[in-house]
Amino acid sequence: MSRTYFGTDGIRGTVGQAPITPDFVLRLAHAVGRVLKKKEQRPTVLIGKDTRISGYMLESALESGFNSAGVDVVLLGPLPTPGVAYLTRAQRASLGVVISASHNPYPDNGIKFFSAQGTKLPDEWEREVEAALQEPPVWADSAALGKARRLDDAAGRDIEFCKSTFANDLTRRGMTIVVDAAHGAAYHIAPKVFHELGAEVMCIGCSPDGLNINDEVGAMHPQALVAAVKAYDGDFGIALDGDADRLQLVDGAGRLYNGDELLYLMAMDRLEHGEAVPGVVGTLMTNMAVELALRAKGVDFVRTKVGDRYVLEELERRRWLLGGEGSGHLLALDKHTTGDGLISALQVLKAIVRSGRSLAQLTEGVTLFPQTLINVRLESGQDWKNNQALAKETHRAEIELEGRGRVLIRASGTEPLLRVMVEARDETQARTTAERLVQAVRAG
């Protein structure tokens, strides 16, 4: 059975349009509750959310749906997605639920789930929920209805957990850090984490009003952080997205570091301190320079499909610890069960403190290859996979770039677009090669 509602990261869409409507979300929670009750007599579910105004409505719908199936609910209020994952595990809950559309603008929202272990759930579980959605509801009788309560210190618990991943003998004292929380779920958590570790903290993107999440701030708009670091004469700047699971970082010179560079830094820091790093997992979009730099240090590197859930699945399969995406989703599985922008930032800062070197020095072993990405609109019924001109041009490009670059052609999962990406040591070669491939697509 294929999935109708679940995408690569839960269920997401525009509020007020199917499926992000209160009636569907109530039915969804009821269906999830029935799935949970097949294995547990009295399940407990944690519900957290980001700062979108629609979170109030969806939270109420989820609460009613779970209660109607005989499931107890604990409301966490605004909390980062990885914070919900942590508390689900720490509270021994049956399931964690997050109301968030991550880096999307405020008119969107979504629902995603974490297992009792704080990990993302497999496709099989999602299919089981979708099957339950097709069945008529089975309302619990009055004596068996679920209850709801609020965990008032959820934010404080998450702050302490984040701080626990930073070595007790290290401090950020004397350092000025600019924090951009994207007016999102970490607005009241990220500043306190760095302040309590000794840093002087300056904030932008920490004043949510329900409508301004990700609005020209945060990891999707790092230029705001670059400007703020310069204005405040900061040592570092840390940008999170709306649900705080991805990270962009800026140094005191205003230089922006993406997830690929930070992933390399995290691996090198561990190697330099005698920790085993058998391999690192990236995605199809991870810059080739990172792969070559890691292999030069004896670290294996493998790629997955785009999406942090696929990175996590591969890490678990290989029993490795480090992985991530250029977008800033970074995983350190000995620190957390899922990607956490705050914890990733602390790992980078730990490397700086214990090495005594700057971000630029710690990443000088990798220089990212220039990338050219061109989106080509596909006509209805256009069969790009059997385009002989494209196949011939792709083969030619791969021969030209062998060992010095790569070609990636993939269809968008959400739009009628073909994404043509070329990576090469030389920027001109990357651009001209991508343009040739685009011409071949259009000729077919």
Would you say residue 440 has pLDDT above 70?
A: yes
Mean of pLDDT values over 83-105:
97
Query: Are 111 and 10 a contacting pair, CB within 8 Å?
Result: yes
Mean of pLDDT values over 392-409:
94
Using alpha carbons only, what angle is made at residue 344 by residues 342 and 349, rounded to the nearest 5 degrees?
Answer: 95
pTM for the whole structure: 0.91
What is the pLDDT at residue 342? Answer: 98
Instruction: For residue 102, indicate whether it is catalytic.
Output: yes
Question: Directed axis angle between helix 259-272 and helix 341-355, to 10°?
Answer: 50
- C-alpha 390/C-alpha 394 separation (Å) is 6
Around Cβ 358, how many Cβ atoms within 10 Å? 15
Q: Look at 171 and 96; give whichever has higher pLDDT.
A: 96
For residue 273, count CB atoms less than 10 angstroms from its CB and return exposed for 0-12, middle for 13-18, buried for 19 or more. exposed
- Domain boundaries 11-152, CATH class: alpha beta
Query: Are 5 and 19 a contacting pair, CB within 8 Å?
Result: yes
- Per DSSP, the chain holds a count of helices (H) and strands (E) of 14, 18
- C-alpha 373/C-alpha 282 separation (Å) is 18
Taking only the tens place, the pLDDT of each residue in 211-258 is 999 999 999 999 999 999 999 999 999 999 999 999 999 999 999 999
What does the domain layout of the chain look like in residue ranges?
11-152, 157-255, 257-362, 371-443
Region of residue 264 (left: phi > 0; alpha: psi -120 to 50; beta: else): alpha
Taking only the tens place, the pLDDT of each residue in 347-358 is 999 999 999 999
Taking only the tens place, the pLDDT of each residue in 62-81 is 999 999 999 999 999 999 99
Fold equal for 157-255 and 257-362 = yes
C-alpha distances in Å from residue 185, one per residue of 261, 295, 325, 438, 441? 25, 37, 21, 40, 42
What is the pLDDT at residue 38? Answer: 96
- C-alpha 123/C-alpha 228 separation (Å) is 41
- C-alpha 182/C-alpha 374 separation (Å) is 28
Helix (H) or strand (E) holding 96: strand 95-99
Mean of pLDDT values over 358-374:
95
What is the arrangement of strands in the sheet containing 148-150, beginning at the earlier edge strand? Answer: 11-14, 108-114, 95-99, 44-49, 72-78, 148-150
Would you say residue 48 has pLDDT above 70?
A: yes
Taking only the tens place, the pLDDT of each residue in 127-163 is 999 999 999 999 999 999 999 999 999 999 999 999 9
Mean of pLDDT values over 51-70:
98
Question: Phi and psi (nearest 5°) for 222?
Answer: -70, -10
Mean of pLDDT values over 328-335:
96
Fold of 257-362: Alpha-D-Glucose-1,6-Bisphosphate; Chain A, domain 3 (3.40.120)
- C-alpha 289/C-alpha 24 separation (Å) is 45
The CATH superfamily label for domain 157-255 reads: Alpha-D-Glucose-1,6-Bisphosphate, subunit A, domain 3 (3.40.120.10)
Q: Give long-range contacts, CB 8 A cutoff, 24+ apart: 425-428.
A: 425/369, 425/370, 426/370, 427/370, 427/372
Q: What is the DSSP string of 115-128?
A: -TTSSBPPHHHHHH
Would you say residue 1 has pLDDT above 60?
A: no
Residue 381 pLDDT class (50, 70, 90 cuts): confident
Select from 3.30.360.10, 3.40.720.10, 3.30.450.20, 3.30.310.50 the CATH code of 371-443. 3.30.310.50
Taking only the tens place, the pLDDT of each residue in 294-322 is 999 999 999 999 888 899 999 999 999 99
- C-alpha 313/C-alpha 120 separation (Å) is 9
Question: Directed axis angle between helix 259-272 and helix 288-296, to 10°?
Answer: 10
Region of residue 198 (left: phi > 0; alpha: psi -120 to 50; beta: else): left
Catalytic residue among 68, 94, 100, 102: 102
Mean pLDDT in the chain?
95
Query: Are 101 and 109 a contacting pair, CB within 8 Å?
Result: yes
Strand partners, 249: 238, 257
What is the pLDDT at residue 309? Answer: 87
For residue 200, count CB atoms less than 10 angstroms from its CB and return exposed for 0-12, middle for 13-18, buried for 19 or more. middle
C-alpha dihedral (343, 346, 351, 356), degrees to nearest 10: 180
- C-alpha 437/C-alpha 231 separation (Å) is 43
57: Cβ contacts below 8 Å, ≥ 6 apart: 15, 22
Calculate what percentage of the chain has a pLDDT beyond 90.
91
